[in-house]
Amino acid sequence: MNSDVALYLHESNAVDLLLGIATRSNSLRLTEICIGLLGNMACQEQVRKEAFASRKTRQVCYIVSLSHSFSLSLSPSFPSLLCCVEVFTTRDVVLSFLCGSDTRILYEATRLVLTCVSASDKDFRQQWIEEVRLSHNVKESLQFVMKSSTNGLRVR
């Protein structure tokens, strides 16, 4: 993504919009596209630092499902039991996408997380690494994606 486009999207609050759509969408492909756009935006250092490092909280709708303890994605594949509004950081929302089972969403979420953990800013990188390290589900999902990848460039 062109850096000017990424900056314009960031200044237009596209991160909030894309996260909102991704967490509320009933379409797995729309969720995948939103996460992919966030990953493209995160490739730009200024956007990454401002949008993905902040402790800014977002109100996000989540559901308790029969197959997962909770999912931030309102996916049609999970029968819902309860819908609530909770406050999460941007990092929490992004990492939650690694707890699903849709491979395309897992790939885009992995790409976004790997972009953040490979950032040049040591403090920023360390915050993301610590969050990944503390989440058992996220570590399992990352391992699954890496083991399942047939493209060597994706694994690197």
User: Is 120 a residue whose pLDDT tops 60?
Assistant: yes
User: Is 142 a residue whose pLDDT tops 80?
Assistant: no
pTM metric for this prediction: 0.72
Residue 49 near residue 124 (C-beta atoms within 8 A): yes
Q: For residue 82, what are the CA distances in angstroms to 61, 72, 74, 79, 145?
A: 10, 12, 11, 10, 29
Neighbours of 52 (CB within 10 A): 23
Q: What angle do CA 79, 83, 87 make, to 5 degrees?
A: 130
C-alpha 70/C-alpha 81 separation (Å) is 10
- At residue 34, the pLDDT reads 94
Q: For residue 42, what are the CA distances in angstroms to 49, 103, 110?
A: 8, 20, 12
Window from 49-53, 108-112, 133-137, 149-153 with minimum mean pLDDT: 149-153
- The residue that leads in pLDDT, 11 or 119, is 11
- At residue 61, the pLDDT reads 42
User: Is 102 a residue whose pLDDT tops 80?
Assistant: yes
Window from 8-22, 62-76, 102-116 with minimum mean pLDDT: 62-76
The residue type found at 7 is L
Nearest to 115 by CA among 44, 50, 21: 44
* pLDDT-based confidence at residue 35 (cuts at 50, 70, 90): very high
- At residue 94, the pLDDT reads 84
* pLDDT-based confidence at residue 54 (cuts at 50, 70, 90): low
- At residue 88, the pLDDT reads 62
- At residue 156, the pLDDT reads 54
